Amino acid sequence: MTLLKDKQADMLNRGFHLEYYGDEPNEDPNNEPLQLLDKDSLGSCSKTIRKLCSRLRSGDGQINPLINIELHTVCSLVQHRLVKGSLDDESRTLVSDVIKLFLYDSKYSNQVQPPELYKYISMIYQNLQERDFDIIGNIFLKFYKIKFQKRAGWVKEDRNMFVPDSHVGESVADHTYGTYLIASFLLPDKWNKDSKYDKKQIIDMLLIHDLSEAITGDIIGKKETDRKNEEEIYKEIELLDTYDGFAKLNYIAKLWGDFEREENLNSKIAKEIDKLDNLIQLWIYAADFNKIPHDFTEWHEGIQRSINTKSCYNKTSKDEEIKCPRKLT
C-alpha cells in the first residue's frame, strides 16, 4: 500500500481529506477559491475524523473500494497528532472505536487489505490506549530493553544456575555484540569460492537477529507460535517509519526472514556464528567461575555438531583439542 511506504503520498492524502472536509481552509478571506495545498498542518482534524469514522461505520461490513484508504487516513491523522500531543479526546475515542471494529469484527476485518494495513491499524490502536504517549518512551525504549533481557539458557532451573548471583549474567544485547565481534574479527572480507558471500550482510543479520526478544524475552525451544509472535514484532518494526523521525526500517524484517530460513550462505554463516557465540560464552563461564553446568559436555558437543559451514567449522575444529579460554575477570 503506497500510503504506508511513501511519506509524501501520506501527507498529500491527509491534506486532501482535511481540505475536503473543512479542517484546512481552501478559500481566502475574499471567498476566492484556493488551490488545494494537500498539506496537514497538524491542527484540528475533528470534522474530518467525524465524517470518515461515520463513513467507515455506516458500511456495516459492505464492500467499499475506498474503505482501506479512509481507514488508513483516520489512523494517520491521529498518529501524527498523538506524537505532537494535540489529539483531542473525541477524535481519540472515535478512531479507537472504529479501529476496534476493523480488528475484531469479521464483517469489517475481512475487508482490510493489504495485511500490512491490518498490522498498521493494530499498532495505532495500541498507541491510542496510552494516555501519555511518547514516541521515545513507548516505542524506542521498548526495543532498548534488549540490553536488560537475560539469556534464558544460563538461568534454566534444571541446569542449576552456575553463574553467581553477584554476576549480572549475559543479556541478549551482550550475546548480539558477541556475534558482532566474531563476525567482524574472524570472517574474511571477501571469499573467492562464493560470489554471493557478503560480510556486511552477515553482520547486519547478527545485529538484528534477536531484536524481537526485547519484547518476548529469550525463549528456549521456540514453538511455531513463538515464531509467529516474532514475525509480528518485525512487521511492527517495518511500520515505525510511518512516524516522523524514524528511518526506513523495512530491511530489518527482510534480514530476519533470511536469517530464520537459512536459504543462502550468508544466513547459514550468521546462524552458526549465533551458535558459536553461545559456545564461547559457555567456555568463559566455565573458566571464570571454575564451575560448569551438569550438561556441559552435552551442550558443548551439541553446539559443535550443529556448526557445519567451513568458515565457522574451522573456528571449532574437531581435529584439535578445544580448551576453555583463560579467565577474563
pLDDT (0 to 100) of residue 95: 98
Low-confidence ranges of the chain (pLDDT < 50): 160-162, 166, 313, 316-329
DSSP-based three-state secondary structure for 171: strand
| Residue 27: predicted pLDDT | 62
pLDDT of residue 323: 43
Is residue 211 classed exposed, middle or buried when 0-12, 13-18 and 19+ CB atoms within 10 A define those classes?
Answer: buried
Cell numbers for 319: 581435529
Q: What grid cell was written down for 279?
A: 559456545
Asked if residues 135 and 245 have their Cβ atoms less than 8 Å apart, the reply is yes
**Three-state SS at 188:** coil
State the residue for C-alpha cell 568463559. 284
pLDDT, position 313: 47
The pLDDT score that the predictor gives to residue 32 is 60
114: preceding bond cis by omega (within 30 degrees)? yes
pLDDT digits (tens, 9 = 90+) for 162-189: 455 545 578 999 999 999 999 999 999 9
Spatial separation of the C-alpha atoms in residues 15 and 220, rounded to whole Å: 48
Query: Helix, strand, or coil here: 33?
Result: strand
State residue 75's pLDDT score: 97
Report yes or no: 56 and 78 within 8 Å, Cβ to Cβ. no
Domains and CATH numbers, the chain: 2-132 (no CATH), 152-316 (1.10.3210.10)
Contact by Cβ (8 Å): 20, 46? no
The pLDDT, as a whole number, for residue 31 is: 61
Backbone angles phi, psi at 281, to 5 degrees: -65, -35
**155 secondary structure, DSSP code:** S
For residue 36, what pLDDT is reported?
61
Q: Which of 282, 290, 281, 277 is nearest to 164 (CA)?
A: 290
Going through the chain in order, the beta strands assigned E by DSSP cover: none
Query: Phi and psi at residue 150, in whole multiples of 5°?
Result: -85, 145
